[in-house]
Amino acid sequence: PIATDFPNANLSHNSGNSGNPGNSGNPGNPGNPGNPGAEPSAGPPGGLELDAQALACLHLLDPSGANRLVPRVMTTYRSSLARLLKQLTLARERGDAASLRLVTHTLRSSSASVGALALSALCATAEQAVRDGRMGALPPLLDQLESEAVWVDAAVLQLLSDLSTNAR
């Protein structure tokens, strides 16, 4: 059996994956994409989402929670997300294709491991665009990626808060 008892893990922030991963369709600025710790200014349609199955897989590695694996992984992910978004901004400003590919590749895999599947899909699409030399396709894609990262950070922060509350 797979544990799916993560608080708020099943709230659904569907990024509109109707053929275009990460196409959130969110109007306006959802927050400060350059600062993943910033609070989104308006909620995404349907709430936030981290994939419950991915979270359950993490939970299976520390079923009792004694090692606090899930909170440690999520805290590390938030730090990594902030660092990678800064690197993404610099690479974007410089037009540095190699750095853009590396950042999107790194963020793709780490996002998938914590259940941020829409962000992971956007990273995969951006990484492929760089590999294909389609640099002109990147600006709107990276805008979506940065916006999705704000929602993911908020979801991870909420999960950490919920886990902290439940641990008391």
- pLDDT per residue as tens digits for the range 48-71: 689 999 999 999 999 999 999 999
pTM score of the predicted model: 0.74
Q: What's the CATH code, domain 52-163?
A: 1.20.120.160
Among residues 165, 162, 168, 150, the alpha carbon closest in space to that of 37 is found at 150
How far is residue 50 from each of residues 16, 47, 55, 74, 137, measured CA to CA in Å?
Answer: 15, 10, 8, 11, 27
**Placement of tokens 């994939």 in the chain:** 51
Give the pLDDT confidence of 102-130 residue by residue, as tens digits. 999 999 999 999 999 999 999 999 999 99
Domain locations in the chain as residue ranges: 52-163
- What separation in angstroms does the CA of 155 have from each of 1, 36, 40, 139? 25, 11, 11, 25
